[in-house]
Amino acid sequence: MRRIVILSPHRPSRELLSRLLSEPGLSVAAMSDADEALDSIADEEPALVVVDARRPDEDQPLMLGLLKRRYPRQPLITLVPGRLRVFDGSEERVRDVRDGSAEGLHLLLSELQRATRDLLAQHLLRMLRPPTGEA
């Protein structure tokens, strides 16, 4: 079963993101603590990590740095004020999204769902593709 790890220090954000990203055949683990998230990733590498960094938290920059250093190809979506940073394992794209209004939140969540579907599809293709040199 494919797995998404969500990191947000704010319970309402964890709950919203968990409900938004849950679907059949997908396990979603939402955590508030960066160390807990890194331990979970070390135990079982997820298909995707989502970090909600819209509100400042002292652990987030450290966690993102450690995650990128330990798992440089780990697909990652970071929610920052006004944009999504989407890393697919090789390149990062930034999707600008207005934030602060109900319309902006709706747009942000729609873009998050779209980026999540794209990264999960890429993950599935990597799993199904035979290693180079094998047919």
Strand partners, 28: 4
Q: What percent of the chain has pLDDT over 70?
A: 91
Supply the pLDDT for residue 94: 93
Q: What percent of the chain has pLDDT over 90?
A: 57
Question: Cα(86)–Cα(24) distance, rounded to whole angstroms?
Answer: 23
Of 30 and 108, the one with more pLDDT: 30
Supply the pLDDT for residue 74: 94
For the chain, the average pLDDT equals 88
Give the side-chain half-sphere CA count within 13 A for 84: 21
pLDDT grade for 132, boundaries at 50, 70 and 90: low
> Are 100 and 115 contacting, i.e. CB atoms less than 8 angstroms apart?
no
Say whether 29 sits in a helix, a strand or coil: strand
Express each pLDDT in 18-63 by its tens digit: 999 999 989 999 999 888 999 999 999 999 999 998 876 666 777 8
Q: Best-predicted range by mean pLDDT among 54-58, 67-71, 97-101, 128-132?
A: 67-71
The average pLDDT across 4-31 equals 94
